[in-house]
Amino acid sequence: MDLSIIGSGYVGLVTGACFADVGHNVTCVDNDAHKIEVLRAGRVPIYEPGLEELIHRNVAAHRLRFSGSIKEGVDNSQIVFIAVPTPPQSDGSVDLSFIEKVAREIAGVLTDYRVIVDKSTVPVKTGEKVAESIKRYNRHGAKFDVVSNPEFLREGCAVHDLMHPDRIVIGAQSEHAADLMKKVYEPFMAPILVTDINSAELIKHAANSFLALKISYINAVSAICEASGADIEKVADGIGMDQRIGRNFLNAGIGYGGSCFPKDIAAFITISEKLGVPFSLLKEVQHINAAQKERFLKSIRDTLWVLREKKITVWGLTFKPDTDDIRSSVAIDLVGDMLREGAQVSVYDPKGMERAREISEIKSARFCENALDAVDGAEALVIATEWEEFANVDLAVVKEKMTTPIVFDGRNLFDPSTMAKVGFRYHSIGRTPVTPD
């Protein structure tokens, strides 16, 4: 099928490349001329495992092309996907101005029937507004259908998630549009759920909020583990073995971050308030998430006493491993907090350094070439993101390089007894701290 994707960010680019890989002809559109130039030159503006290879393969096969023109995208496709940003506003609501603008622009160039699909994460009832807007600016009176088709991919494994989805959600008001959408997804061989547009939009916010709730739940339990001497890893295993609950997303840590969870939960709280049914449970989820970082900071302060002038190394700046994305990263917040308290912070991340250098709050940190350089002379090591590179490091060398071998592991990357054997004083989340054997 001929498809176009308006917006070539994380979701748009990965979706476009995967659609092309299963045999569709795809035009990825973006209004950032530089980005289109970069993509046409064979470079990929984001780091996402497997994406570059996928793009190269499909560009070479002439199934994937890039354009700066919405008209070109709309003219050359039966189905037009909208995948533009929906950034948060200060009151927690979502800025829908990019979607509104794209809807207007699509309407202006619409000459024949098209299915217009919203893939961006939006509050419930946005599809109705998109349809209204297209109808209003539809100069040629062309027929169209609006569909909601939320995306559930995770950064760092986006290509895998898109190629092997748990489910496809299609919110449509016409059978014809739903049938066309089913054809798009046929090659993915995943279960397809067809709903009305409002339900599809709600599924996305409700799913992300539930996952965040699961993380906050286990983080709240981790605090009880610390107070009682229980082990959060064992507790999570024990809970997760119940198939009704499942072990996924029960990893305790310093809290969730990223471009989705914090924004989507705030948006879900705001839209439910607007609808007159406040969702106070989600406020508690937010509260626990913020408290988790504070509890971690407190354990660092309790151990080091004063942070001023302390040489502290932070491994990991991205909001999760296998991405270069540092948006709403708890790791960045932690570095900022420690710098403000006067600590001398050295940082290293396998992929996030370039973007992190641009964050003014952490400009005064020392940006290091590699994980071992970063710990040279350190009085404490903080692990903020669970990159595999850190898990595979030679711990004996790390210990030798540090002035005082104290580790604060915010992602439970290491086994406490191993750390004690190597000679570390080791603090982690929801587990009893250990001292050298």
Q: Is the CB of 134 or the CB of 326 nearer to ligand UDX?
A: 326
Both structure tokens of 310:
């302390």
Position 258 contacts ligand UDX (CB under 6 A): yes
Nearest to 207 by CA among 155, 169, 157: 169
Position 154 contacts ligand UDX (CB under 6 A): yes
Among 81, 261, 279, 408, binds ligand UDX (CB under 6 A): 261
| Residue found by looking up tokens 């969870």 in the block | 261
Q: Is the CB of 288 or the CB of 307 nearer to ligand UDX?
A: 288
Written as one letter, the residue type at 16 is G
Q: Is the CB of 261 or the CB of 390 nearer to ligand UDX?
A: 261
- Is residue 85 within 8 Å of 9, Cβ to Cβ? yes
Q: Rounded to the nearest whole angstrom, what is the least distance from the CB of residue 261 to ligand UDX in the complex? A: 5
- Is residue 10 within 8 Å of 323, Cβ to Cβ? no
For residue 204, how far is the Cα from the chain centroid?
A: 14
Q: Is the CB of 256 or the CB of 387 nearer to ligand UDX?
A: 256
Among 9, 127, 257, 433, binds ligand UDX (CB under 6 A): 257
CA angle 419, 425, 431 (to 5 degrees): 70
Q: Is the CB of 155 or the CB of 233 nearer to ligand UDX?
A: 155
Among 20, 177, 260, 380, binds ligand UDX (CB under 6 A): 260
Nearest to 99 by CA among 77, 125, 79, 65: 125
- Of the candidate spans 26-34, 149-157, 337-345, 414-422, the one that interacts with ligand UDX by CB under 6 A turns out to be 149-157
Written as one letter, the residue type at 265 is I
Among 251, 272, 286, 346, binds ligand UDX (CB under 6 A): 251
The rounded distance, in Å, linking the Cα atoms of 380 and 403 is 8
Contacts of 219 (CB under 8 A, 6+ apart): 252, 253, 255, 288, 289, 292, 429
3-state SS class at 42: coil
Position 151 contacts ligand UDX (CB under 6 A): yes
Catalytic member of 18, 28, 260, 368: 260
- Is residue 53 within 8 Å of 29, Cβ to Cβ? no
Q: Is the CB of 114 or the CB of 320 nearer to ligand UDX?
A: 320
Position 152 contacts ligand UDX (CB under 6 A): yes
- Of the candidate spans 171-179, 249-257, 274-282, 414-422, the one that interacts with ligand UDX by CB under 6 A turns out to be 249-257
Q: Rounded to the nearest whole angstrom, what is the least distance from the CB of residue 251 to ligand UDX in the complex? A: 3
368 noted as active-site residue:
no
DSSP state of 366: E
Q: Which residues between 316 and 355 bind ligand UDX (CB under 6 A)?
A: 319-320
Written as one letter, the residue type at 307 is L
Nearest to 83 by CA among 119, 45, 30: 119
Binding mask 190-229 for ligand UDX (x = CB under 6 A): ------------------x--x---x--------------
Position 268 contacts ligand UDX (CB under 6 A): no
Position 408 contacts ligand UDX (CB under 6 A): no
Among 21, 105, 155, 226, binds ligand UDX (CB under 6 A): 155
Provide the pairing of β-strand 311-315 with 380-383.
parallel
Position 185 contacts ligand UDX (CB under 6 A): no
Q: Rounded to the nearest whole angstrom, what is the least distance from the CB of residue 234 to ligand UDX in the complex? A: 16
Both structure tokens of 289:
């998430």
- Is residue 308 within 8 Å of 340, Cβ to Cβ? no
Question: What's the sign of the alpha-carbon dihedral 238, 239, 244, 247?
Answer: negative
Give residues in contact with ligand UDX (CB under 6 A).
151-155, 208, 211, 215, 249-251, 253, 256-258, 260-261, 319-320
What are the residue numbers of the active site? 260
